[in-house]
């Protein structure tokens, strides 16, 4: 592969020298902008507009410089980004454009219009094949990005909790994905449960209850034990029930206020400030996971210890298991570690995984498939 030439400059400005915008114009010309035929062609400038109240984005002045250089060559530039998966100020096109304008990316300051790449609700995308892709066979990319004749990435450089560092590759690879595309990128991590190791000690249940400070009688994670067969041929197993952060979560679909939503990593979480206590999530979840708190008049649920994981830790249930029967990680890595005989939530005590497609892998004992199970009570 041919090595790319990299051009850079310092940020110093002297009265007799070029200002920062002039330096940027010089850099992009030196990088070969004059070799591109812009005449009457649409040029997408992929940029991050920033969230409302956030200052970590490029100044609109730099976008103006790039747009002016394109227009000087007869091109038709526009600024673009795709809607976010998480709840913020860029989850649909109306809020997204308003946020861009608030942060200064107006046609008057940048010299070109803002077009949200995946449309009003993030559903306007194109499935782009990825030839010879090892992990991805196709990528869902915003239609406006794919409709452009020329693509330019204008991005800042930053640290990022999932990719390590964010630059041009992240700006394009993640940023150009539609909401569905971002979902596929972020939800490949699944918990694995090795039931052969689970001894029903309930340490995970206690760790979860302690971490979430749940009241007496309320559990986000529950351990149940079962027996199958008749004496003297009896077998048994235990199962640790928790939120499976499903690919098609009914709790999210039925929440009327948007209180339940997907975090950037695909975890199904809840904003209790938006909860009206209607209990639709409690009634609709086939796994019985969201819980209702009558004193507060709101429901609550497992968030996969999202904050702990963002800080580099493990979910409390995983860290608290003395026998290491629980593990959280990427699906492919879990399969490699635990072997190919994992099933995706298909054991006798669980509802059919076809209903919500739970994000869980289970290394189950053979007896866990026996529908004639009996629950042990203590």
Q: Is the pLDDT of residue 3 over 80?
A: yes
The listed range with the strongest mean pLDDT (16-20, 84-88, 124-128, 156-160) is: 124-128
pLDDT recorded at residue 165: 77
Which domain range does residue 193 map to? 189-375
CATH number, domain containing residue 364: 3.30.70.20
Domain count, the chain: 2
User: Quick one: pLDDT at residue 330?
Assistant: 79
What was the pLDDT predicted at 206?
92
Pair (202, 295) in one structural domain: yes
- CATH number, position 48: 3.40.50.11440
φ, ψ of residue 222 in degrees (nearest 5): -130, 135
pLDDT tens for residues 346-362?
899 999 999 899 988 88
Quick check: is 244 in a domain? Answer: yes
| The pLDDT of residue 188 is above 60 | no
- Asked, for residue 7, whether it belongs to a domain, the answer is no
Give the model confidence (pLDDT) of 74-124 as tens digits. Answer: 999 999 999 987 778 898 999 999 999 999 999 999 999 999 999 998 999
Which pLDDT belongs to residue 189?
57
Residue ending a domain, among 154, 169, 186, is 186
Same domain (yes/no): 194, 182: no
Residue 81 forms part of a structural domain: yes
Residue 260 has pLDDT above 80, yes or no: yes
pTM above 0.75, yes or no: no
How does pLDDT run across 303-362, given as a tens digit for each residue?
998 888 877 788 999 988 988 889 888 777 888 888 777 888 889 999 999 989 998 888
Assess if residue 363 is contained within a domain: yes
* Range 2-18 average pLDDT: 88
145 domain residue, yes or no: yes
Whether residue 45 is contained in a domain is answered as yes
100 belongs to a structural domain: yes
CA distance 6 to 22: 18
């Amino acid at each position: 592969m041919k090595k790319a030439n990299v051009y850079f400059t310092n940020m110093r400005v002297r009265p007799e020298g070029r200002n920062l915008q002039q330096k940027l114009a010089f850099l992009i010309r030196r990088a070969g902008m004059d070799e591109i035929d812009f005449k009457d062609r649409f040029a997408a400038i992929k940029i991050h507009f920033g969230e409302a109240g956030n200052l970590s984005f490029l100044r609109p002045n730099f976008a103006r410089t790039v747009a002016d250089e394109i227009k000087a060559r007869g091109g038709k530039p526009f600024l673009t980004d795709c809607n976010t998966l998480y709840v913020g100020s860029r989850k649909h096109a109306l809020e997204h454009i308003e946020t861009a304008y608030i942060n200064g990316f107006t046609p008057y300051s940048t010299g070109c219009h803002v077009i949200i790449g995946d449309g009003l609700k993030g559903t306007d995308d194109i499935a782009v094949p990825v030839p010879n892709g090892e992990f991805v066979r196709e990528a869902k990319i915003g239609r406006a990005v794919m409709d452009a004749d020329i693509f330019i990435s204008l991005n800042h450089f930053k640290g990022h909790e999932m990719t390590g560092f964010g630059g041009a590759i992240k700006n394009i690879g993640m940023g150009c994905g539609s909401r569905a595309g971002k979902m596929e990128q972020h939800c490949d991590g699944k918990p694995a449960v090795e039931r052969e190791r689970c001894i029903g000690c309930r340490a995970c249940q206690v760790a979860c209850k302690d971490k979430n400070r749940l009241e007496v009688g309320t559990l986000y994670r529950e351990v149940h034990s079962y027996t199958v067969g008749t004496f003297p041929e009896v077998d048994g197993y235990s199962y640790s029930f928790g939120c499976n952060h499903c690919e098609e979560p009914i709790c999210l679909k039925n929440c009327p206020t948007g209180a339940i939503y997907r975090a950037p990593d695909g975890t199904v979480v809840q904003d209790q400030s938006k909860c009206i206590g209607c209990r639709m999530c409690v009634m609709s979840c086939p796994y019985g996971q969201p819980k209702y708190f009558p004193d507060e008049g709101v429901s609550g649920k497992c968030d996969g210890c999202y904050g702990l994981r963002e800080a580099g830790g493990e979910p409390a249930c995983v860290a608290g298991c003395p026998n290491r029967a629980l593990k959280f990680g990427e699906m492919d890595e879990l399969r490699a570690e635990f072997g190919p005989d994992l099933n995706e939530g298909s054991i006798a005590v669980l509802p059919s995984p076809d209903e919500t497609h739970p994000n869980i892998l289970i290394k189950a004992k053979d007896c866990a498939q026996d529908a004639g199970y009996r629950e042990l009570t203590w």
